[in-house]
Amino acid sequence: MTTLVLASHDQKTLDASTAKAVTAALALGEDVHLLVAGSNIGAIADEAAKLQHVKKVLKADAVTLEHQLAEPLADVIVSIAKDYDAIVTAATSVGKNVLPRVSALLDVQQISEITKVISTDTFERPIYAGNAIEVVQSLDAKKVITVRISAFAAAPAGSDSAPVEPVTAQSRQYRSSFVNEALVQSARPELTSARIIVSGGRALGSSEKFDDVLFPLADKLHAAIGASRAAVDAGYAPNDAQVGQTGKIVAPDLYIALGISGAIQHLAGMKESKIIVAINKDEDAPIFSVADFGIVGDLFKVVPEIEQALG
Amino acid sequence: MTKILVPVKLVLDYNLKARVKSDKTGIDLTNVKLSINPFDEISVEEAVRLKEAGKATEIVVVSIGPAKAQDALRSGLAIGADRGILIETTEVVEPLNVAKILAKVVETEKPDLVFLGKQAIDDDSNQTGQSLAALLDWPQATFASTLVLEDGAVQVTREVDGGHQTLKLALPAVVTVDLRLNEPRYPTLPNIMKSKKKPIATQKIAEFGIDITPRLKVIEVHEPPTRKAGIKVKTAAELVDNLKKAGVL
């Protein structure tokens, strides 16, 4: 049988998390089909068709799907679910929003944010902010799974394109409607796919200082900007930058934590990073217990010195 | 007028680190502090603020769990909810089954809004609100950071990848709340005392006629791989050297 992956996209381009969800889906050992749902998404479907090992792309193109709201999106997935043994998507804000709706409509207990596929029905997933790992076996005939993006490598793009077939979106009246959106425009790499992340905490002291200290270093390293919950709550950084249990889960090659004490909720979001650097004036800060390299000192002095040392 | 149902869960206090049992069957919850799930506290607070603003008439908190789960209900009542419902069970109830039971509670209580925390900090599933909305065929808005109640509708700004998205939902609706929706108050002593007199109705889970047999079999729960503390370096130059050697620059 076959696994269906709901592709992640922003109505313009295919999101990098899609290729990671495909990797997790391939580990289930079945053929993989992709569903691209949105409005006017032909180009995204064509891009998705190039991912290696994807056998077919289904394209649900309808005005009602323009903002990927949970209700119409769930209806499209459910309408084709009978053909699939497993439905998988990346744990993005769209994926986390829609998939539990799908799982309830299919009477399946979803498995959230898997980090490893052990067999076709058994998976690892972190619980308690990553302080424990649960190994669960799904007894449902159909599997509904969200995938923690940071735990899987991206499936490569292949040379051939899979066929793209249209799927009809149901038309019915929905009681939720899109009003507007405010998306942060940034030329920097996206947090969950960046190779390097420079992340700031409450010690930055203000929004201005946060930008002044982090931006030049991030520019130099072509890094994404992250933040602790305390920094986001204080308004130093946008909510989208929050790294932690309830924010983004990241695993870059290099994570530089500036003035972040290292609450367990924050560590849950970044401790899988390859190399962690911590700069903090409190030598007992818990962040040092997970850091490969630490500097005890004033970040306002140390960060410019790092920029200088980078040349 | 608007009636709000707020499901709450009792979980390991968020300040405590979860300890895996030595037999790997789960997390050790004996003799540790359990508290209301922090996101649920935010949803109760939001409901209470709406009531204080004259926009909501009644707030009912509901919890599924052992007798001890009353503590989560009492926390909600101390913030300002009017009454509680305890659905008693000593079994593990998975998110889908929680949603099924809550759907039954909605049938009886007929709220206009259900506010839930976006996730419980124990199993980190992030499912119940969405699943409940599906079972009720109600509109949903997850990860709410701003909420405005209008006539027959609610406008919700959601925290999404890349920023914020605002939706309008016709009532009745399900909203799951994120961290920045509000900062829950510390209940005052008089309110804590008053909350002890507020009614909590207890029902047995069997009364709901829902099969709560788990669909997920927990094979084991183990510790995550530990990360060792590395080295402290003195200077920025030394740091950059080390990062170059590690191959990450």
CATH number of A200's domain: 3.40.50.1220
In a domain, A144, yes or no: yes
A157 and A196 together in one domain? no
Name chain B contacts of A95, Cβ cutoff 8 Å.
none
Any A CB within 8 A of B142 CB:
yes
A133 and A246 together in one domain? no
Q: How many domains does chain A have?
A: 2
* Mutate: best of B41, B123, B166, B243, partner A, most A CBs <10 A: B243
Q: Is the Cβ–Cβ distance between A101 and A126 less than 8 Å?
A: no
In a domain, A184, yes or no: no
CATH code of the domain containing B148: 3.40.50.620
What is the percent of chain A with per-residue pLDDT over 70, rounded to a whole number? 100
Domain end call among A132, A166, A200: A166
pLDDT average, residue stretch A129-153: 96
Domain that holds residue B237: 2-245
* Chain-chain contact of A100 with B131 (C-beta, under 8 angstroms): yes
Domain that holds residue A276: 191-310
A108 and A242 together in one domain? no
Give the per-residue pLDDT at B147: 98
Give the per-residue pLDDT at B1: 78
Give the per-residue pLDDT at A283: 96
Q: Is the overall model pTM greater than 0.90, yes or no?
A: yes
A44 and A77 together in one domain? yes
* Chain-chain contact of A136 with B217 (C-beta, under 8 angstroms): yes
How far is A294 from B103, CA to CA, in rounded Å? Answer: 51
How far is B39 from B8, CA to CA, in rounded Å? Answer: 9
Instruction: State the CB neighbour count (10 A cutoff) for residue A34.
Output: 26
A31 and A153 together in one domain? yes
Domain end call among A132, A149, A166: A166
pLDDT at A158 over 90: no
Confidence of residue B84 (pLDDT cuts 50, 70, 90): very high
How far from chain centre, in Å, is Cα A238? 16
* Chain-chain contact of A176 with B130 (C-beta, under 8 angstroms): no
In a domain, A181, yes or no: no
Confidence of residue B227 (pLDDT cuts 50, 70, 90): confident
Mind listing the pLDDT tens digit for each residue in A250-272? 999 999 999 999 999 999 999 99
Sheet holding A54-61, edge to edge: A111-114, A143-147, A86-90, A2-6, A31-38, A54-61, A164-167
Q: How many domains does chain B have?
A: 1
Predicted interface score ipTM higher than 0.90? yes
In a domain, A175, yes or no: no
A138 and A16 together in one domain? yes
Confidence of residue A186 (pLDDT cuts 50, 70, 90): confident
A301 and A247 together in one domain? yes
Any A CB within 8 A of B16 CB:
no
In a domain, A182, yes or no: no
Mind listing the pLDDT tens digit for each residue in B101-128? 999 999 999 999 999 999 999 999 999 9
Sheet holding B231-232, edge to edge: A224-227, A196-200, A254-258, A275-280, A293-296, B231-232
Amino acid at B204: K
Domain end call among A166, A199, A233: A166
CATH code of the domain containing A67: 3.40.50.620
How far is A144 from A139, CA to CA, in rounded Å? Answer: 11
A17 and A105 together in one domain? yes
User: In terms of DSSP H, where are the helices of chain A?
Assistant: 17-26, 42-49, 70-80, 93-105, 207-221, 229-233, 264-270, 299-310
Name chain A contacts of B27, Cβ cutoff 8 Å.
127-128, 132
